Amino acid sequence: MLKVYLFIQYKYYKHVYPPDFAYYIPNSIYEAVDFLGRYDNARPLAGGQSLLPMLKLRLLNVDYIVDLNPLKELDYVSLNKDYMEIGALTRYYEVLKSSIVNEKLPLLSMVIRKVGDMQVRNMGTIAGSLANADPASDTCAVTLVFDADIVTTSSSGNRVIKARDFFKGPFTTALAKDEIVTAIRYPILEGYKFNFVKVVRRAGDYPLVSVAVAVKLKDGVIEDLRLGYAGVSQTPYRPFEVEKSFIGKSLKDSIEDIVSKVVEGVNPPSDTRGSSSYRKEVMRNVTRKALREVMG
C-alpha cells in the first residue's frame, strides 16, 4: 500500500518547478550588484546547475534572480606572470578547453574534469561553485589547495578574498549581500607534483570524499605539502597544521603518519552518501592512495 502511495505521489509531484521569482537582466556588473543591494532575497544566476536544482527542491527560496549571463566581460581566461585569472562566467567546459590552463594548472584540470558530467560542465562555472560553497564540492577544495585569490565586486568597490577566508560554513561564504565573484586567480605552482583521488557512490555525483594534493619535494623530502578535502567537514578542508608539521621530512617515511594525522581535526557529517566514521575511513584511504601515487 505504502509503495503504491509513494509511487502516485512521485508520479504527480515529480515535475518540480522553481517557485515564482522576479527576474532582472543587468547591463553591467555595477547594475547587478546595485540591484542585489537594493532588493531583499535576491540571488545571482550563473550556470544554474546548483541554483535551479536547489530552487526546485525547495532547499532555497528567492524573490529575485539577477541573471549574470549577459555580462560577457566575465567570460575569459588570462595568464599573468605568476597566476591564472579565470572570469566568473567562464564555463567548466571552457576552462577544460583552455590549453594554458591544462599546461599551467594541471591540478585544476584534473579536478574539474571529474565535476558532474559533460552537460553540467557545459553550463556550470567555478565561481558559481565557490559561491555555492557546498562542503562536498571538489572545486571548492582544490581552490583551497591553491589558496586562490577570489576577486569580488560590490557597490562599495572591489576586493580580494583569500580562499582560506572565503568559506564560512555549509553553503555560506564571506560574500556580502551585494557582492559577486568576478574572477578567481590561481597561483601557478611550479615544481610541484599533483594528484586527485575521488570516491563517488555513482558516476557523476558529488564525492563521498575527495582529496586534491600538491606536494613539492626535494630529494624525497617535503618542501611544501597541501591537502584539500571535499566531503569531510562543514567547509572544504585543509589540515594546515598537519601539512606544516611534515615539512622537512621524507614523504616516503611519512605517509602513514600523515594518513593518521589528517583525520584528527575533522568530524565528518553523516548523510545519505555515508556515515561520519565511514567518511573518516575513506579519508584515510584516499590520502594514502594519493600520496603513494605521487611517490610513483
Partner 1 sequence: MGVLANKGEKVKVRVRVNGVWYERYVSPRMLLVDFLRDELGLTGTKVGCDTTTCGACTVIMNGRSVKSCTVLAVQANGADILTIEGLAQDSKLHPIQQAFMDNFALQCGYCTPGMIMQTYFLLKENPNPTEEEIRDGLHGNICRCTGYQNIINAVKDAAGRMRS
Ligand X SMILES: Cc1cc2nc3c(=O)[nH]c(=O)nc-3n(C[C@H](O)[C@H](O)[C@H](O)COP(=O)(O)OP(=O)(O)OC[C@H]3O[C@@H](n4cnc5c(N)ncnc54)[C@H](O)[C@@H]3O)c2cc1C
Binding site for ligand X (CB under 6 A): 43-51, 53, 68, 88, 115-116, 120, 123-125, 127-129, 131-132, 137-139, 175, 180-181, 204, 206
Residue 23 interacts with partner 1 (CB under 8 A): yes or no? yes
195 binds, among ligand X, partner 1, none (CB under 5 to 8 A by kind): none
119 binds, among ligand X, partner 1, none (CB under 5 to 8 A by kind): partner 1
> 286 to each of 143, 228, 229, 278, 282, how far by Cα in Å?
18, 11, 10, 12, 6
> 44 to each of 222, 251, 272, how far by Cα in Å?
42, 44, 29
CB of 93 to ligand X, least distance (A): 11
Residue 72 interacts with partner 1 (CB under 8 A): yes or no? no
CB nearer to partner 1: pick between 25 and 176: 25
CB nearer to partner 1: pick between 90 and 233: 90
Tell me the torsion sign for CA atoms 252, 111, 206, 169.
positive
CB nearer to partner 1: pick between 53 and 187: 53
CB of 160 to partner 1, least distance (A): 26
Which amino acid does the sequence have at 91? R
CB of 27 to partner 1, least distance (A): 5
Q: Are 100 and 84 in contact (CB under 8 A)?
A: yes
33 binds, among partner 1, ligand X, none (CB under 5 to 8 A by kind): none
82: number of CA atoms within 13 Å, CB side? 5
Question: Cα separation of 214 and 227, whole Å?
Answer: 7
138 binds, among partner 1, ligand X, none (CB under 5 to 8 A by kind): ligand X
Residues 195-254 close enough to bind partner 1 by CB under 8 A: 203-204
Cell output for 30: 555595477
Residue 155 interacts with partner 1 (CB under 8 A): yes or no? no
For residue 191, how many other CB atoms are within 10 A of its CB? 9
Cell output for 154: 560590490
Residue 166 interacts with partner 1 (CB under 8 A): yes or no? no
The cell 546548483 sits on which residue?
50
